[in-house]
Structure 1
């Protein structure tokens, strides 16, 4: 009986230790990275529900309470979650804006020949010179973020520090395999033209030799004027067989208008991984799904 009592006491103390180090991330991709680091110790929470936009999310009172009370908080930064800085002013515990971590490889939006077709209707800032905050789509950056998370968790929960560091090492090895797998997967479609409705994939594209031919940037549920639609259709018609990618959960109503009668295939790319479970391998699944979506559509042309 004494051994059983000791075992129960140890299990209860482990549960208490895990409960003391609560991790909250703003968006699913950060949750997927945290889940890899916390494997076997805890389960990170995420603030935004599936399908919510990090650019203009409206916090509920319960969300505000969670943000202000959770032990460890990770968000991309003010270039992504513009709704968070005001709420974080009331937080006494530290929070990490990962866009500020040293060692990241960061990109900034630039003027190019592939300018936005409807630049006056952005729902967030993609002006030249501003930070491209979709930084999680580069495996190198995921590694840097995981290293910070492992360090923070090890300091907050020394009893499990060895497990966090082992999880970090395993995640790093998986990222090496992921990088090699993605390079091989997309090699056959490099140079094929495609269009997107949201300029969210530049990190992924730059890493794996891809380049969108144009961005049909529109405000959600806003139908642009006939002149803009005609200009977009001309771009598509001149390109020939191509793919146009939107992001879930909603396909812009404009997609069908643009593609009607043209050799254009409509498909989805999910930069946030809304349907992916926060568990080991989740981050890799996110990037594998992007590669599969791109390659699957472009190879079918």
Structure 2
């Protein structure tokens, strides 16, 4: 009986170990087994960079996105597993400009022997500094900040949402292309060609936004999260945000009242919300002001439904344009 019991314990132990191996080896996109020999292994910090890196990398690249589908990037922090896997890649592409507060510690955690090259892909975008000092910056247009060395200086409230404008997205795409060429110069021609295709699509999107938004009678939008500064700057709009640069920033009661009054005075018919963040405040304000809500997507990530439907940066931005045109007519 003792022998049978010991056999059962051994079998149980082996079974548990096998289950652990399956779990560890099957942890999805982020597992270390995703390092593919003979390709440029790229880890990206969130969705738009992932999409552009895949488009430019093509067959030469194996791209893994750190941020899971349906998660808002302001909320997420990496675990030790992600640090370990990234240290084995050739490129780590992150946005910078204060979007990923976890990056400085993440880079330290990669270790001195890691071969991975970290690249801040927003480098070269003319950054916007949001006004106000408490996360509640409503009403005024943001000013430009030319001092790129202040990327992580939180006291300046730098707006990190550069990619929401196709003009800035093109700079990001070019930085991604250059980083590929730096680590894999042998395939420079392929990277240049695929970047040219992506840049052409971004130019066409930029041209469409420019032409169609120039013809709207209204220029003011009310948004739940102050994520549209670059879009507004590049296409002649002004955003009024219920919350600040972080979607978790709670507005004060007087902010809601002031916005409600402004909505009524300006004849604004729609208040925009986004899918990855609660729409509670947008709906509260819409109800208070007697207007409707519409989606304006900051393209920080896909919902699971959007992922299944094959949505991407371009389809979401096209929907953004149509909703802006509806709200601004």
Q: How much has 1:70 moved relative to structure 2?
A: 2.2
**Does structure 1 residue 274 correspond to structure 2 residue 302?**
yes
Distance 1:26 1:47, change over 3 A: same
Distance 1:175 1:228, change over 3 A: closer
Alignment of 1:51-200 (within 5 A): 51-77=70-96, 79-91=98-110, 92=114, 93-99=116-122, 101=123, 103-110=124-131, 116=137, 129-189=156-216, 191-200=218-227
SS at match of 2:60: coil
- In terms of Rg, which structure is larger? 2
C-alpha RMSD over aligned residues: 3.3
Say if 1:106 and 1:132, in contact at 8 Å, map to a contact too: yes
Say if 1:108 and 1:128, in contact at 8 Å, map to a contact too: no
Q: How much has 1:230 moved relative to structure 2?
A: 3.5
Gaps of 5+ in 1: 1-14, 119-124
TM-score (norm 1): 0.76
Q: Deviations over 1:165-213 (max 9, x none)?
A: 111122222222222122123233253432111111111111112112x
Gaps of 5+ in 2: 1-35, 140-151
* Partner of residue 326 from structure 2, selected from 267, 275, 296: 296
Aligned positions, number: 271
Q: How much has 1:95 moved relative to structure 2?
A: 0.3
Distance 1:53 1:152, change over 3 A: same
Within 1, Cα distance between the matches of 2:262 and 2:107? 43
TM-score (norm 2): 0.70
Matched with 2:23 is none
Within 2, Cα distance between the matches of 1:67 and 1:130? 29
Distance 1:64 1:196, change over 3 A: same
Question: Quick one: higher RCO (CA 8 Å, sep 6+), 1 or 2?
Answer: 1
Matched with 2:64 is 45
Within 1, Cα distance between the matches of 2:129 and 2:326? 28
Within 2, Cα distance between the matches of 1:90 and 1:127? 22
Within 2, Cα distance between the matches of 1:48 and 1:72? 16
Distance 1:65 1:163, change over 3 A: same
